[in-house]
Amino acid sequence: MKKIINAKKRIGEHQLHPESLMMSYGYDSDLSEGAVKPPVFLTSTFSYPTAEAGEEFFHVASGRKPVPEGESAGLIYSRFNQPNVEMVEDRLALLEGSEEAVVCASGMGSITATLLSALRPGDVLMHSSPLYGGTEVMFRNIMTEFGIKLVEFHDGCSEASIMAAVQEAKSLGPIAMIFAESPGNPTNALIDIDLIVKTANLIETEQGKRPVTAIDNTLMGPIFSQVVPRGIDLAVYSLTKYVGGHSDLVAGAVCGNGDTINAVRTIRNCMGLNSDPHTCWMISRSLETLSIRMQREAETGLKIAQWLANNPHMKVKVLHPNLIEDELYQTVYAKQCSGPGSTFSFVLDAPRTDAFKFINALVLFKSAVSLGGTESLVSHPASTTHSGVPEEVRKDVGIEEGLIRLSIGLEHPEDLIADLSNAFKVLVS
């Protein structure tokens, strides 16, 4: 077995912060000729020191024996695990505050592993709405083909809305999972995490078996929101976004504890959803700057949101967490988020053609889907990511024709404001 050597989380009595551990945790340079930075382990398979060790590795990998205290499972084959993926998993778990993490080939891969770890034909999947487009398509078009029944709730801060969904779900079958996205994209609607945990407890009392709770934590986590320490079973991530952070890779992860995360890992390994060493190496580099990037992007984002709210050109509604004037929203925001992230929307009181005119006039903001990169992006959800959502549903959840979503990167705030200001001038001219 490989000993986990570089897993010190404290110096004497002093507890180290996750930021300080992003450069070293889970990597032993002595095993790699003293290299300060980890090599990219381009190997599909790993040799055992002895045949007996190989036997032991398989006992552990197949769950016949527990991982020995203070050690990690021996490496066997890169579809199961490899050093670069392990480093990312160890470090991501530190940031999320979970025992473990499982890295996948994409955010959708991590959602697939999450769903298949807990849902069986006939089960009910309760979920928030609206969801990320890809998630919505997977739920509606694919999971239902496998006999999964869907029940949605529209307001994740309202106990009445969630309890109505529970009543409907109960009549359809066993509730095996509650899946929610917080904050929601593109409106920044929040899910009250404590309410989800309370609902899962209630369902457990009624039906005997506890539903697995999962939150897509991509937009604010793991820097401004950690959901596993609040009692959520699984935190789901698209690492393509803030964690990768440079718009140059696609990956995902699930964080959690105990048997729940082990079930996700089993699906990942069996179904071939693991990521590759090179991508994981890039993510381990990205993790070193994650905290500083997200902090700066959030600061800049707030400056831009405030400018938009008071801009001299045109009155717009700004859907930034700090500026959403709703008492319940602000209570939930204050208790479970330590910052706003840097993805938010604003709404022009104007038709789609005006939103297009505005977007086309921007210079620094690139018009593209995705978010969380070092460069600022702009998108028009109603015509792109959410074009598959029926118009009346879009209206219902606030994805209006004049809604424009921004993902703020690391450019100077004054330059981004100049870009937006110029686009308003073009629009009103």
Ligand X SMILES: *Cc1c(COP(=O)(O)O)cnc(C)c1O
Binding site for ligand X (CB under 6 A): 106-108, 132, 134-135, 181, 185, 216, 218-219, 238, 240-241, 250, 252
Nearer to ligand X, 90 or 181 (CB): 181
Nearest-CA neighbor of 110 among 297, 344, 283? 283
Minimum Å gap between C-beta 424 and ligand X is 27
Is the sign of the CA dihedral 270, 274, 276, 280 positive or negative?
A: negative
Nearer to ligand X, 24 or 394 (CB): 394
Minimum Å gap between C-beta 177 and ligand X is 16
> In three state form, how does the secondary structure of 217-269 look?
CCCCCCCCCCCHHHCCCEEEEECCCCCCCCCCCCCEEEEECHHHHHHHHHHHH
Beta pairing partners, 376: none
Minimum Å gap between C-beta 220 and ligand X is 10
Nearer to ligand X, 106 or 300 (CB): 106
Nearer to ligand X, 157 or 215 (CB): 215
Beta pairing partners, 423: none
Minimum Å gap between C-beta 145 and ligand X is 20
Q: How far apart are CA 123 and CA 189, in angstroms?
A: 27
Nearer to ligand X, 130 or 277 (CB): 130
Q: How far apart are CA 24 and CA 88, in angstroms?
A: 11
Q: What are phi and psi of 268, to 5 degrees?
A: -55, -50
Minimum Å gap between C-beta 380 and ligand X is 16
Q: Is the peptide bond before 186 cis (omega within 30 degrees of 0)?
A: yes
Minimum Å gap between C-beta 109 and ligand X is 7
Kindly state the tokens that stand for 178.
């509650």
Q: How far apart are CA 345 and CA 384, in angstroms?
A: 14
Q: How far apart are CA 367 and CA 407, in angstroms?
A: 10
Nearer to ligand X, 35 or 369 (CB): 369
Select the residue whose beta carbon is closest to ligand X and give its number. 107
Nearer to ligand X, 132 or 153 (CB): 132
Nearer to ligand X, 238 or 300 (CB): 238
Nearer to ligand X, 334 or 369 (CB): 369
Order across the sheet with 124-128: list the strands.
100-104, 252-256, 234-238, 212-216, 175-181, 124-128, 149-153
Minimum Å gap between C-beta 420 and ligand X is 23
Find out whether 373 and 407 touch, Cβ atoms under 8 Å.
yes
Minimum Å gap between C-beta 105 and ligand X is 8
* CA distances to 1, 3, 75, 97, 213 from 71, in Å: 7, 5, 12, 20, 29
CA dihedral 108, 109, 114, 119 (to 10 degrees): 90
Minimum Å gap between C-beta 131 and ligand X is 8
Find out whether 263 and 307 touch, Cβ atoms under 8 Å.
no
Helix (H, G, I), strand (E, B) or coil at 397: helix
